[in-house]
Structure 1
């Protein structure tokens, strides 16, 4: 921790520049100013020659999760503000995840990590610093093998289910509905609880932060890298293509096709017009040729206005919606695809998220049993 403090103080000094002094007043000891609670360091920051200075109460952490913030840092922050209202709590760590940074900012806690993620807002003397470093954990800070993350198809199934279906439910119900093993689901739920993405009472999940969950999952995805695709041209234009899609849906043709991307987002988030039509098809080798023949599409190497995406997992076809006679992905899948897509798609994904947040009842199922009955029907 001594090396972390030294490197953090050096980084803060570099950010403030040569006209500011950063001085370590005390290192790990019992701090009288913090009501007897242990602190890691107390810094004084002031401009050269100035009489006004700021005190920074430094909390050194080897790892910071949202649960650590809630259980350890927030009580300390409340105590510091009661005892020394002009002292500012600052977290120093090797690396802070984007979610941890967001929670710290929202709670008014400063932070500095060794990759360059820094947030500091002090009214007197006036200091405002906000910089971005690594969004992904350096190799030395990445989870050990065996610890579940939100990468991979299995995690995708769990995320979709937690987003699409409102709690309460138990891990066993979730595992069965998502067709996953209970041990895997239990480990991943533990990790999500650590990130405050779910909350449990006993063994029952009672709340899901589905917005944060979808954003975090999207950070592990790249729409056009995780789904192999074939570029196509619609000779008769998009309107004719949509007519062919409706005809194909009415005829119940296989393999399945479902619309995603900008064209699926337009009805909800009309930020722009145009863009490529993106259609999920099954991962079978001949599915793209079959669908292309049905829709009158021509394979091209450049200038494609239609992309046929071979679905990385069958979850993209679950809980699909019928919109004006065309099968479209569920809103949660649309958000994931847009947030992890190219160009303006992430902005469209955020707009879809805002639409979903306005009224969950219009898209979120009320229970696992209800959802299963809808899918079977």
Structure 2
């Protein structure tokens, strides 16, 4: 092992040991076993011993990782954990890392692997002595955690376009087909698909994508975006009320209806009624004059605060793809709505969860069976 890398992992191990000691408190003793030092020829990196004041202890075999993916958690780490349990049912495997993503945490828990990261994400379940710890830290990677050579993340306009296509159309299909339909470069699509495979969001057989975890995909996209930050909203007041705006939209000429799409709480309420009220969110094309034009046509007035209508700028054409109609008003497609709500403020994430539940129950209705259908509305 490179000397600097070894030093980095040793420092990470010691920080993890100190964090665990702090969590458990003075009634417990957390020690690094010297005979199991970092860099040995065994299948784990180190061994920690957790000992209670009355002398009962458990040994934790530790994997120190600068980065760990769901694929590793479900693969090699799961195999190691199973081996450890076969040798001694009371010995546990723990992963220590600078940061562990929510999806990786889920995969580790499914494999009955304990974990600790330096942002405060901790899961530890020991039956003897009895220890149960579960704390939540950062759900996004801290600044500097991602290296410049990392594979692309689920941020940005291009990623959003591919995410929606993967969610809206059931496989099988290939990267070349996705790149053509999404009008993205094949190298970019291939790199992003590699990332999604590492995150267990897709499964491939050779070059063929055979399965997409569309729920996890939409949740992951929402975690890495922010609706209000990415759409540059303009606050408006509707003098005659929000219901009057919706009625006006329903009565607009057919061509105009496709220039303004409803998203957020009012769109979610069509499929997953959770609450009443809230701001009416409308997508418009990303041109400054469109905000003024739409506001004028709908009788909206700009206000610095207290807005009951937000005009959002659609920065990518994927926002307009596969829309749906409700009560004569056009809304964004279900996958776009789910991401918008999950990444929105206030009670919107709860509404996003309800939208996902609706999508699960009605997947056979909204999800397309072939990429050739990707230009059709979500619901018709």
Q: TM-score range by the shorter chain?
A: over 0.9
SS of the residue aligned with 2:47? strand
Q: Secondary structure at the match of 2:61?
A: strand
Alignment match, 2:32:
24
Aligned counterpart in structure 2 of residue 159 of structure 1, from 153, 156, 163 = 163
Shift of 1:373: 6.2
Match of 2:44 among 39, 48, 57: 39
Match status 1:5 vs 2:13: yes
The 5-angstrom pairing of residues 117-136 of structure 1 reads 117-136=121-140
Are the equivalent residues in 2 in contact too, given 1:7–1:114 (CA < 8 A)? yes
> Does 2:315 correspond to 1:307?
no
Among 334, 337, 355, the residue aligned to 2:337: 334
Match of 2:262 among 259, 266, 269: 259
Provide the aligned length of Structure 1 versus Structure 2. Answer: 370
Matched, 1:95 2:99: yes
> Structure 1, residues 2-49: CA drift from partner, whole Å, max 9, x if none?
222222112111111111111223324899xxxx9522222221211x
Aligned-residue CA RMSD (Å)? 2.1
- Greater shift, 330-339 or 98-107, is seen at 98-107
Task: Check 1:52–1:301 CA distance in 2 against 1; reply closer, same or farther (3 A cut).
Answer: same
Shift of 1:63: 1.5
TM-score by length of 2: 0.92
Distance 1:262 1:299 in 2: 20
Instruction: State the partner residue of 2:196.
Output: 192
1:267, CA displacement in angstroms?
Answer: 1.9
The CA deviation at 1:100 is 0.9
| Matches of 1:373 and 1:138, distance apart in 2 | 39
What secondary structure does 1:327 align onto? strand
Q: Distance in 2 between matches of 1:120 and 1:305?
A: 45
User: What secondary structure, in the 3-state scheme, does the structure 2 residue paired with 1:121 have?
Assistant: strand
Aligned pairs for 1:44-55 (under 5 A) are: 44-48=49-53, 50-55=54-59
Residue pairs, 1:287-306, within 5 angstroms:
287-306=290-309
Equivalent residue number for residue 241 of structure 2: 237
Counterpart in the other structure of 1:363: 366
Q: Equivalent of 1:65, from 42, 46, 69?
A: 69
Distance 2:26 2:105 in 1: 27
Q: Deviations along 1:252-288, whole A, 9 cap, x unmatched?
A: 2277000000000012221110001000010122112
1:175 is displaced (CA, Å) by 0.4
Where do 5+ consecutive residues of structure 2 fail to align? 1-8
Does the CA-based 8 Å contact 1:335-1:353 persist in structure 2? yes
Alpha-carbon distance in 1 for matches of 2:23, 2:183: 50
Which of the numbers 203, 214, 221 marks the counterpart of 1:210?
Answer: 214
Helix, strand or coil for the counterpart of 1:21?
A: strand
**After superposition, what is the alpha-carbon deviation per residue over 1:207-232, rounded to whole angstroms, capped at 9, x for unaligned?**
11111111111112111111122211
Alpha-carbon separation, structure 2, partners of 1:139 and 1:296: 43
> The residue matched to 2:71 in structure 1 has which SS?
helix
Q: Shift of the alpha carbon at 1:344?
A: 0.4
- Tell me, which stretches of 5 or more residues in structure 1 are unaligned? none
Deviates more, 1:360-369 or 1:123-132: 123-132
1: distance between equivalents of 2:371 and 2:324? 17
